[in-house]
Structure 1
């Protein structure tokens, strides 16, 4: 007896369903262990990654606390106690901790009047391209300040040119050193313009801006703050 269209469609669906079940059963028999293994491996990998992230965050927190204690020791004059703690943190995997520890180490050397050692320590940070640029720039400014008396004026200008800029957060410190270097080169106009830039940049601390106004005025340059900077 011939099948009606409805019976034919039902028969085809039953055949398709049975074929799918057979295919899934075949896949399960052949690849079941592999699939289970892959799922377990993915779960283990995810669990390991989660643990590692937690571990890193825990270590970072512990190192941050140690650094804070070391900085408190430095501020309190307990340099011997701080030195050991800071030294241990100079190899930290966390850039901010490592950079701060290295900068603090340089400051401790400076506190012992070891200017050569301090300058070398600052130079090491300034040259470390694995650290964020603000740490490197700060180290360069500090290195230059330590070495200033022994540097040729043009060397100071060349070294700090990019930091004695309106958009630089180090304009105050770097700019003053550059301005003095211009004076040592007998270039009062360039020195006056540098002081003027310092005086009229709002982000520079007020004490440095006030000093820059006076220095510029002594060089015949009007460095009075603009209305925007005076607010």
Structure 2
């Protein structure tokens, strides 16, 4: 690779890193303003252009942040009218520990269906999501990669009710903001390694068609997560 090519790659990486940092900053500032009432319920947010100028960021970074806030139920966007703070931001009435307890009741049994119905395409999707878990450089990337992995496993069941449950679980976690920047005690570079190892055991078992091993791995993984949450 010549010098010009190396310089181009370096520049692209710098742009990507700045975009990620900008998105995290904009997310924190806007969500904080919504939650503390600085942006009142029903009020209109500044335009994408105004936000980009205020934060000295690219408009695609602003757009990415607004998409995330919309997914969390904090804002609503109307074409031609603008972006508004929801009158009653969605709030979950259960804790992460309660969610993990519920997942322990049914999720370890999921491999019984998955090993019988999984496809090579879904295995490839799981592998790609797991690589994203391993390579995540921010909490947003880490969480979204884990969500993608969980959804791929759920789709492997070919059961629409189970898939719907996982969609609701992920939507609730996004709304509640669990795992957002500032809420974690450990750096993402540390946590991603253990998460990668734990989920690799699950994926290897599913690839091998070993429902018993996958069941045990999922149960152990959820128990560790519950223990960590309960001890904090």
Larger Rg: 1
| TM-score calculated relative to the size of structure 2 | 0.29
The structure whose residues are more often helix, as a share, is 1
Q: Which has the higher contact order (CA 8 A, sep 6+)?
A: 2
| TM-score calculated relative to the size of structure 1 | 0.29
